[in-house]
Chains A and B, each alone.
Chain A
Amino acid sequence: SQQGEEDPQALSIQEGENATMNCSYKTSINNLQWYRQNSGRGLVHLILIRSNEREKHSGRLRVTLDTSKKSSSLLITASRAADTASYFCATEKGGYQKVTFGTGTKLQVIP
């Protein structure tokens, strides 16, 4: 079974609104990563947060990590139509870059 699960599975918002996606995982991790995938393309790495970090920012992205609840959230502020994509969380545990992915959240930003 897969390590991570994203919630919601799909999200539709208006341009300018904030989008929040959540990820829950099952076992202890070394780090958690978020990726974006545009339709039919490869994945693009967005941000990595280590297990000893609680929050990280990158441009309009804000990621939080709660290891006690085994969960993470990705916030995209002031969304744009170009943010329309699927977003995946991925976790690395046990070292050696063995990274497993969740099932993804499909985000639609309506202009």
Chain B
Amino acid sequence: NAGVTQTPKFQVLKTGQSMTLQCAQDMNHEYMSWYRQDPGMGLRLIHYSVGAGITDQGEVPNGYNVSRSTTEDFPLRLLSAAPSQTSVYFCASSSDRSYGYTFGSGTRLTVV
């Protein structure tokens, strides 16, 4: 049982490049979310999903796209990377509202 797997663990992008951060969970969880963590800012919600085919925006969605074609996968796409998107990105999943989230180990992204 791998839990929540995020790839890659580290990534350096040039301004304007695009990329996809991968997130997969093997716990059959309906709910999945993407957060970014910046120093002194805590975690901020980017996008979240309540099931396959259903996504919604969080607190800071601009510059990011998501889709949820399967229960297991919830990729986060950066459309045109900017230095302001330098951050640590966490994916998380949950089975229902009675339980908290299980987090992945994060992707450290640097945009130069």
Contact = CB atoms under 8 A, between A and B. Distances in A.
A45 interface: yes
Interface in A76-111: 88, 90, 92, 95-104
Interface stretch (A12-20, A27-35, A60-68): A27-35
Contacts of B56: 96, 98
B97 A100 contact: no
A44 B4 CA distance: 12
Contact of A98 (B58, B90, B100, B104): B58
B33 A104 contact: no
Majority secondary structure, B binding face: strand
**Central interface residue in A41, A43, A45, by most chain B CB within 10 Å:** A43
**Central interface residue in B4, B31, B94, B97, by most chain A CB within 10 Å:** B97
**Central interface residue in B40, B102, B103, by most chain A CB within 10 Å:** B103
Contact of A45 (B44, B48, B50, B100): B100
